[in-house]
């Protein structure tokens, strides 16, 4: 599987845009920003190869994680593996919590899709039971005046 294609094809920005589903304008923007730097022909035209598709996947995944462009560059381009490992270790719990929230959300959506509450707020009671602690208001009484 994944046999190396003959002749290492390369694509123009428009071709790569069509192939990847990312608008050409965005690809150019990412190139300018150093997020996904295209190869260049002598005339300055951009060319994309298989290596770019791999990096593109990483970028899309990082975006799904809610990373900013700066963070994506950090995790993809930091030459020091230890720094990257530290960043990954920091990010992991955030991702796990996000998964937990989304799972609760999926439950809520399934409920709303089937039961059609008279008003959405009435779901609040059981949502409160399921959300992880740090995804909801503290409920400690504020110091009253």
Partner DNA sequence: GCACACCTTCGAGCCGACTCGAAGTCAAGC
Partner DNA sequence: GCTTGACTTCGAGTCGGCTCGAAGGTGTGC
Summarize as ranges the residues that interact with a copy of itself (CB under 8 A): 2, 9, 11, 15-16, 18-21, 51, 53-58, 60-62, 64-65, 75-77, 81-82, 84-85, 88-89, 91-92, 95-96, 98-99, 101-106, 108-110, 112-114, 116-118, 120-121, 123-125, 127-128, 131, 135-142, 144
| Interatomic CA distance for residues 50 and 39, integer angstroms | 12
Question: Tokens 């300055």, residue?
Answer: 44
| Interatomic CA distance for residues 94 and 66, integer angstroms | 10
Count of residues touching DNA (by CB under 7 A) = 22
DSSP 8-class letter at 8:
-
Three-state DSSP at 46 gives: strand
Binding span for DNA by CB under 7 A among 10-18, 91-99, 124-132, 133-141: 10-18
Strand-pair partners of 47: 39
Q: Does 19 bind DNA (CB under 7 A)?
A: no
Q: Does 46 bind DNA (CB under 7 A)?
A: yes
Q: How far apart are the first and last CA of the chain?
A: 69
Cβ 93 to a copy of itself, closest distance in Å? 10
Q: Residue 92: which residues within 8 A CB-CB, separation 6 or more?
A: none
Residues that bind DNA (CB under 7 A): 12-15, 23-26, 28-30, 38, 41-46, 63, 68-70
């Amino acid at each position: 599987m994944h046999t190396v294609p003959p002749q290492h094809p390369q694509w123009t920005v428009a071709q790569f845009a069509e192939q990847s589903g990312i608008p050409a304008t965005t690809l150019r923007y990412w190139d300018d920003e150093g997020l996904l730097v295209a190869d260049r022909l002598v005339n300055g035209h951009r060319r994309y190869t298989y290596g770019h598709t791999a990096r593109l996947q990483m970028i899309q995944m990082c975006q799904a994680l809610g990373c900013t462009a700066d963070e994506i560059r950090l995790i993809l381009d930091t030459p020091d593996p230890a720094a990257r490992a530290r960043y990954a270790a920091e990010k992991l719990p955030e991702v796990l919590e996000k998964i937990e929230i989304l799972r609760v959300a999926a439950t809520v959506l399934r409920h709303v899709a089937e039961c059609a509450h008279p008003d959405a707020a009435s779901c609040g009671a059981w949502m409160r039971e399921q959300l992880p602690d740090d995804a909801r208001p503290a409920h400690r009484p504020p110091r009253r005046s």
